[in-house]
Structure 1
């Protein structure tokens, strides 16, 4: 990249960072340090504001960089990620949003603990939430590293390292100073920027092909190196039974995982009522659905205009497809238009990463303080909880930075798929059982969480993701015993099975009165905080 690219993109990075730090500083002056303010922003956001914030939280680097890159490399099979990420919101809308807002206060564990013995349930749910959040953070860190490496030159390994460290430091600052209120406004600003950037690029791609989407697809197939196979199922997930099962596993993880993501569930507590939570989801579905339709155009556009080989040459996982597309649409590397458009897209992508990591870090630090710390230190005050949450944000940032540097050569959408699989295995079963199964017990809740979490993590460690193939994290060793990249096909049923088994073998019976109270509260909102 030329010096103009570097300078302009870095200036735009700096402008966004300055704006968001200004928001954080302003909000931190007007907070009063309560847990409700830090975790839920005082529950003062409107459905539209929260809908934009949810969209900003969900449309991550995996969406903007990863999915477009997968489509550019694998065509139809990459498009399946867009479908899975979007369909998942129907599960959230119909099964989760209103009930979680009525039953909980700040975290997933609040919903489960409402009718169980609190301590074991909070420790289990808090551990699971932190694990899922860290896995999700790793994907954002990888996206940041890929983006800055493209900007400063692929040979600069130090640039990628410092990008990951810088993003980690900024997310700790956002969460520690501003809490949920600052994080929400950062996500709203980011959602507007991302939608604007995606609309501009989509229009430019369609203009290049005179609005003929069929011509776009044919050109993408011709330049992909795969011909008509590029537009048909099977390029990535076809062939032997392992690849096909891996696709089923991925689909289950994407569709079911969203309803178990801690940073998405925590957003339902920032609005005053359950009705507002449902309306927030409707707003977010409209924004997210429009965005994923545009990623399809951007992915095939990158294959048609840049070429799959050029995308793969820049980044083997395809994470730089959209910035390269912007460079070409603007007129090429040596043009002013190309420089400006590339810099704008790079800055928007960087803004996307900063906003998403802030939301995830806040949710995970809330789980550490509100669930784990409060369970171990009974009678802890709200102010001490908030102090612990700020410290936890720094610790989680350090862990995410280290793992992000380790996984920097993997596709960000693929990494998010792993986080979704763990969320669907550990969090979703216990959430649905708690809301809908009258006989569910404390043992069932604990077994459900660990029965999904531990198999998911073990299967990932024993999968081709970690060892046994040239694309693994550790290609020089081989302890691969599980053939699938995504563990969801096995670990999600295990989570549900463990919850059922723990319940039917439990000596304790479910508290009928507490279940009745939870049921009324979840459906009517009576007694909701």
Structure 2
């Protein structure tokens, strides 16, 4: 078995310098490109990005700490079953490509609430969309914050809980700076820079790994199996999700959440408004899909490479646990310099994603709740942007506290929960609003609140929160729902609630408004930039 990898003390200084350098450079870029004359500039960068640019930014927004740290660690420790996260994340983009991207771009302006409220009663639907967006964003944000704590614990030698809490707070403050200074345009350029760095980094590690094993993937897998307590079992399915019928069901639930969740993620939907038309929105998804396909293939090699060269026991015992696999591998194959580069990329990954999430949540509150619910549309761009900035500060503070609470959990697993929330609360209502003419306001509210409430209830009373050694509250047990991911129950319930609510509700959609939405969603006539 490979001995435990211990990072040298001199790497701490190098990593700190690289972190600081990346933050300063990207803050300068954000400041230089920032242009926030109107709310359209702040929330959607004026719709001036091309499909290629937005596609790279989409991949940068989506390839989070879960993808780079969590999946690599899951593959290193659990083998084949860890790669199932990659497959779910990638296949999910077909939903956006075929059903969501163009129609959302044509129908909305800044947020998901624009689409859902297009032919419904504005105030209750926008309020529900904002509540859903804030809830999903919070779950996603705390996963990224937990990743920041684990990463810096490993790379900077900060092992105490208090020290990691300070690190998470610093990440939150930098995130707020990106959002407050740059808005969507600045955040998009940070995501483009981060995605380029991430793709180059994983490609570089993959090439180095193949070189160490004579470009023989079989030799790499053989060594990975030898350095894992489960041996060759890591090369086949069933190690993580194949032990019992309950584990099979948990895997099916996770798969549903991963595949259907992307279509309901607010920060992904919001990116479709940064391009000038629906054609560029579709091109964005194509660019993003190909970028992520290459990335996830590299994570397969990186995960098994970490098992081969570092050893799964060394990974699990390191600060950050499974999330330490990629940085430990970088040190093993390239020493302190490679570790510093990968550290910067991982840190950039977290910063870019949390900035995008915070911007989405603040935009939803300012545009949907403040401007359209509270002020009934009687406000100006300056005031809306001001409210968005204040909201970003509040969201940043809450996410810091949440990240401290869940520090140490596997990030890919936490993001899987965020996908379950997105699929449960948003996907049913989005699809029905776009494709079902009978769908009405009551159905929208039942679908959002019913799906969101069911998902939240099942998570609270699941082994994620209590009743298990790895739970958030391991010392108590009030779990009655046996699955760790609630998607298999909460997602069908959201569709069912939306259908029942539609027939319970007495209101009938305005036929003219229905026709307008159908023509606009399909052709783009009447949409912004058409």
Equivalent in the alignment of 1:18: 24
Corresponding residue of 2:322: 318
Which of 121, 139, 142 aligns to 1:138? It is 142
Partner residue in 2 for 1:3: 9
* Cα shift at 1:317: 4.2
What residue is the counterpart of 1:333 in the other structure?
Answer: none
* 1:27 Cα offset (Å): 2.8
SS at match of 1:439: coil
Paired residue for 1:27? 33
The equivalences for 1:44-443 within 5 A come to 44-153=48-157, 155-315=159-319, 317-330=321-334, 338-374=335-371, 375-378=373-376, 379-443=378-442
TM-superposed deviation, 1:2 = 2.8
Q: Tell me how far apart the structure 2 counterparts of residues 238 and 423 of structure 1 sit (CA, whole Å).
A: 26
User: d(CA) in 2 for partners of 1:204 and 1:159?
Assistant: 33
2-side partners of 1:413 and 1:495: how far apart? 24
Q: 1:458 aligned to 2:464?
A: no
**Contact residue 138 and residue 403 of structure 1 kept, 8 A:** yes
SS in 2 for 1:318: helix
* C-alpha RMSD over aligned residues: 1.0
d(CA) in 2 for partners of 1:242, 1:511 = 46
CA displacement 1:171-210 (0-9 Å, x = unmatched): 1111111100000000000011111111111111111111
- Which consecutive residues of structure 2, in runs of 5 or more, have no partner in the other structure? 1-6
- Which whole-Å CA distance do the structure 2 matches of 1:323 and 1:277 have between them? 34
**Corresponding residue for residue 334 of structure 1:** none
Deviation of 1:325 (Å): 0.3
Does the CA contact (< 8 Å) of 2:151 and 2:320 recur in 1? no
Cα deviation for residue 380 of structure 1 reads: 2.4
Q: Give distance in 1, aligned partners of 2:65 and 2:320.
A: 16
TM-score between the two structures when normalised by the length of structure 1: 0.97
- 428-437 or 151-160, which moves further after superposition? 151-160
Instruction: Provide closer, same or farther for how the CA distance between residues 154 and 221 of structure 1 changes in structure 2, counting only shifts above 3 A.
Output: farther
Q: In the aligned structure 2, how far is the partner of 1:507 from the partner of 1:147? A: 53
> How far apart, in 2, do the equivalents of 1:315 and 1:212 lie?
31
Partner SS for 2:323? coil
CA separation in 1, counterparts of 2:290 and 2:242?
A: 32
1:348-371 deviation digits (Å, cap 9, x = unpaired): 100111111111100010011111
- The question of whether the paired residues in 1 share the 8 Å contact of 2:101 and 2:285 is answered with yes
Shift of 1:155: 3.0
1:41 equivalent in alignment to 2:45: yes
1:480-519 aligned within 5 A: 480-519=479-518
Compare 17-26 and 458-467 and name the one that shifted more.
17-26
Which has the higher mean CA deviation after the structures are superposed, 179-188 or 378-387? 378-387
Q: CA deviation at 1:152?
A: 2.5
**Kept after mapping to 2: 8 A contact 1:368/1:392:** yes
Partner Cα separation in structure 2 for residue 481 and residue 511 of structure 1: 44
Contact (CA 8 Å) 1:70, 1:317: kept in 2 or not? no
